[in-house]
Amino acid sequence: MTDHRLQNSVRQRHSLHPEDIVTLVIDGQQLTADPNDTLLTIAQAHNIHIPTLCFLEGISAYGGCRVCLVEVEGYGKLVPACLTHPAEGIIVRTQSPRVIEYRKKIVELLLSERNHICSVCVTNGHCELQQLASTLGITHIRYPGLFPSLAIDASNTRFIHDPNRCVLCSRCVRVCAEIEGAHTWDIIHRGIKSRVSADLNQPWKEAVTCTGCGKCVQACPTGALSEQGKAVGEMLKKRYTESTT
Amino acid sequence: MDQPIIIEPITRIEGHGKISIHLAPNGEVADAKLHVTQFRGFETFCQGRPFAEMISLVERICGICPISHSLASAKACDDILGIRVPETAQKLRVLLNCGEFIQSHALSFFHLSGPDLILGMDAPAEKRNLFHMLQSHPEIAKDGIRLRQIGQQIIEGLTGKRIHPAWVVPGGVRTPLQEHERDTLLERLPEAQAILERAITLFIESLKKWQDEIEHFANFPTLFVALTNSSGQLEHVHGNLRCIDENGAILEQCQTAAAYQDIIGEASEQYSYLKSPFYIPRGYPAGMYRVGPAARLNVANGCPTPWAHTLWEQFRLFAQGPILSSFYNHFARLVEIVYCLETAEQLLQESNITSKHIRAHAQPNYHEGIGIVEAPRGTLIHHYNVNTDGLIERVNLIVATGNNNLAMNKGLVQVAKKWVKGSSLSEGAINRLQAVIRAFDPCLSCSTHAVRGPVTAIELLNYDGKLLDSI
């Protein structure tokens, strides 16, 4: 969280009526917050790090990846910080052993579901999934890999869709629908067979709604969407620009 | 029916394989086979991938010669793009290749074959290794380690990594050479040259004690295949294929990379995952040919650099016509290290070697691409077909070690007939059977494209298949 965003958060809170402010504890810190904020944004505003994957600032929260799960005292289940609003007096733990273990399992399941071979991936060294696994100290995957063989869509002259590297975070779907307004992408099938597809399952080049803006490629956290012609490690996502701060 | 002996694993080579020796009812050696027992499968699982990823994918075939695979792959990808690679990028690719040849040949000569050459073929097995050499001949062992390090440092100086750098890309290379790296690399070359002077003197002085090995280590007439430059001289990265016969006459001088398809065919045998390429006009298996260091020096008219050329002349004086004994591969490796050191020195002193113009960009323009380079172990061919979207449809890899398969098998028979006596294996016989394979410096993991089955061995079997002895 930047100082700029922290100041905004504080400013907003000061403009609220005292009855509209909730107090809560995150990782031992006594905090006040707007009840319309989420646990994730509150934590970010106070420099408390909660890892995310499907969350992307600027588009709606989805809660699909479950990487931002946190523990709330008295709640039976872990809750996604990106979708959970604060209640008065709750005590939140973002780094408890239970939370960490769940996060590791989630990331390992993601890694086992598709073919995430970092050494030969276009986003090697710049991948959010890779960074997440590294931060969580994942050196091995306890689940057997499924190693699916999914066809790559390289029909677009500028971009490639490799579903073998997709984590179904739906950032591409949301950025295309909510920012570009094209809604070219969506998720077809269900469960383990789910995958991202363009225009009712058409080859990308035949997706008439696609404007070719490339936002989906830049929003993708992995190498599932990349620019044509990129070799290993060459696909840097252009997201973190000054305009977002 | 004959009877087999199995030797497994073969040690001090790259990859897994085993040797079987078949004895006739009278107890004499009837046949011998090299079995490559691992399977990699790159030709199949690369299908469907974007061609631009191929270079880094095939680099993973090998930890010793990833550069060769990346260069052959890059040339095939350049061919698909229909692109002219910038001059500096071409030079940097050659420089990178020099680094790999230095480290790989140093590994073969000092680390893998050094224990045989320095300590003797009949030395106890527990002493024939680099660690014992460090105790008994520390200066030689340290020379080998340092020389290999210098080769690796050239690769690291260019790419930032010593192994699997993913630095070569379609259309050029990823990053330019920095001036301070150039200066550092240049400073290290004299030390490498001094090591080579000592190694060459050592090898020449020891030659007289290896007469039996010279005579029986795959010493028979075959064809030879290698790349040569436009003047017919030694070439590793560019140039075209040339094939000479057992008397040195040029049978083929290819003008394009695609012409390899007219001269090289591929056969397969039940006993090995390694394919058996052959020279098409002579058929299989009569079209046996050899590749690698000695083959390159046989095929070439000379070397483009002065010291290497002098050594090439010395090499050609070992016999009349092409040098047939594969034992001389050891010397040929030293000649090639010299060639690479001289080439590296020349390239590093060129004014545009640090130019930033190192990559050309294009969309795929052709559906087929072929890249041929000389890997340390011999000629390496990558042949790709892509669809209109640039996705790989077919991959054919003819890997250096595969080219020597027929000759390695014949070499085994020659050594077995000379040194295997009766139904048990002596220490000297076991080591020489492996040493003849080692003379080819095969990389079995490179050559078969999932490691399955047992690790390798030598087996001695009788005429009805009963195992008499094994290691």
Residues β-bridged to residue B458? B7, B19
The pLDDT assigned to B274 comes to: 87
Q: Which helix (H) or strand (E) holds B225?
A: strand B223-228
Q: What is the pLDDT of residue A77?
A: 95
Rounded to a whole number of angstroms, the distance from the CA of B169 to the nearest CA of chain A is 7
Same domain, A125 and A89: no
Looking at residue A8, its pLDDT comes to 59
Chains A & B: contacts with CB separation below 8 Å: 47
Task: For chain A, positions 199-228, list CB contacts with chain B under 8 A.
Answer: 228
Domain housing A203? 118-239
Assigned domain for B451 exists: no
Residues A126, A77 share a domain: no
CB proximity A137 to B under 8 Å = no
* β-strands A22-26, A91-93 pairing: parallel
DSSP B381: E
**Chain A residues in contact with B48 (beta carbon < 8 A):** 149, 151-152
A208: pLDDT strictly greater than 90: yes
Distance from CA of A50 to the nearest CA of B (A): 33
> Could you tell me if residue B350 is inside a domain?
no
Question: Which one of A123, A124, A152 would you mutate to disrupt binding with B, by most B Cβ within 10 Å of its Cβ?
Answer: A152
Q: Are residues A151 and A61 in the same domain?
A: no
CA A136 to each of CA A45, A67, A86, A167: distance values in angstroms, whole numbers, following the listed order: 22, 11, 26, 17
Whether A143 and A197 share a structural domain:
yes
* Closest alpha carbon within chain B to A119: B56
Question: Are A77 and A139 in the same domain?
Answer: no
Question: A105 lies in a domain?
Answer: no
Label the pairing between strands A195-198 and A91-93: unpaired
Nearest Cα residue to B58 out of B384, B407, B459, B465: B384
CA distance B66 to B57: 10
> In terms of residue numbers, what domain contains B319?
220-324
To 10 degrees, what angle do helices B138-159 and B179-206 make? 150
In-domain check, residue B46: no
Q: Which residues of A touch B363 (CB under 8 A)?
A: 157, 228-229
Instruction: Judge if A127 and A43 occupy the same domain.
Output: no
Within a domain: A106:
no
Residue A103 lies in a domain: no
**Chain B residues within an 8 Å CB radius of A228:** 50, 52, 363, 390
Could you tell me if A180 and A67 lie in one domain? no
Q: pLDDT tens for residues B166-189?
A: 999 999 999 999 999 999 999 999
Per-residue pLDDT of chain B (471 residues; tens, 9 = 90+): 456 778 777 776 667 788 899 888 888 899 998 888 777 788 988 999 999 999 999 999 888 899 999 999 999 999 999 999 999 999 999 999 999 999 999 999 999 899 989 998 888 888 888 899 999 999 999 999 999 999 999 999 999 999 999 999 999 999 999 999 999 999 999 999 999 999 999 999 999 899 999 998 999 999 999 999 999 999 999 999 999 999 999 999 999 999 999 999 999 888 888 889 999 999 999 999 999 999 999 999 999 999 999 999 999 999 999 999 999 999 999 999 999 999 999 999 999 999 999 999 999 999 999 999 999 999 999 999 999 999 999 999 999 889 999 999 999 999 999 998 877 788 888 889 888 888 888 887 776 542 233 334 677 777 766 777 776
Sequence-distant (6+) residues with CB within 8 A of A98 are: A71, A78
Partner-chain residue, chosen from B60, B166, B363, that has the shortest CB–CB distance to A233: B166
A160 to chain B, closest Cα gap in Å: 9
Do both A72 and A147 map to the same domain? no
pLDDT confidence band for A5 (50 / 70 / 90): low
**Chain A partners of B174 at a C-beta cutoff of 8 Å?**
231, 234
What is the rounded average pLDDT of the residues A174-203? 96
Pick from B47, B51, B53 the residue to mutate for testing the A interface (most A CBs within 10 Å): B53
Q: What is the pLDDT of residue B454?
A: 37
In a domain, B300, yes or no: yes
Summary mean pLDDT of chain A: 92
Q: Which residues pair with A218 in a beta bridge?
A: none
C-alpha B212/C-alpha A240 separation (Å) is 69
A229: contact with B, CB 8 A cutoff: yes
**Domain end: A95, A130, A164, which one?**
A95
Query: Is residue A202 located within the same domain as residue A136?
Result: yes
Instruction: Using an 8 Å CB-CB cutoff, list residues of chain B that contact chain A.
Output: 48-50, 52-53, 55-57, 60, 164, 166, 169-170, 174, 361, 363, 389-391
In a domain, B253, yes or no: yes
Q: Are residues A134 and A76 part of one domain? A: no
Instruction: Assess if residue A108 is contained within a domain.
Output: no
- A61 domain residue, yes or no: yes
Domain count, chain A: 2
Q: How many angstroms separate the CA of residue B35 from the nearest CA in chain A?
A: 30
Helix (H, G, I), strand (E, B) or coil at B323: coil
pTM to 2 decimal places: 0.88
Q: Specify if B254 maps to a domain.
A: yes
Assess if residue A188 is contained within a domain: yes
- CA torsion B230-B232-B234-B238 (nearest 10°) is 30
CATH number of domain containing A231:
3.30.70.20
In a domain, B251, yes or no: yes
Q: Which of A18-22, A100-104, A169-173, B96-100 has the lowest mean pLDDT?
A: A18-22
DSSP chain A: --HHHHHHHHHHHHHS-GGG-EEEEETTEEEEE-TTS-HHHHHHHTT-----SS--TTS-----S-TTEEEETT-SS-EETTTPPP-TT-EEESS-HHHHHHHHHHHHHHHHHTT--GGG-TTTTS-HHHHHHHHTT--S-SS---------B--SSSEEE-GGG-----HHHHIIIIIIS---EEEES-GGG-EEEETTTB-GGG-TT-----HHHHH-SSSSEEETT--TT--------GGG-
What residues pair up with A112 in beta bridges, in sequence order?
Answer: none
Asked whether residue A235 falls in the same domain as residue A144, the answer is yes
Number of structural domains, chain B?
1
A236 touches chain B (CB under 8 A): no
Q: Quote the pLDDT of residue B224.
A: 97
3-state secondary structure of B319: coil
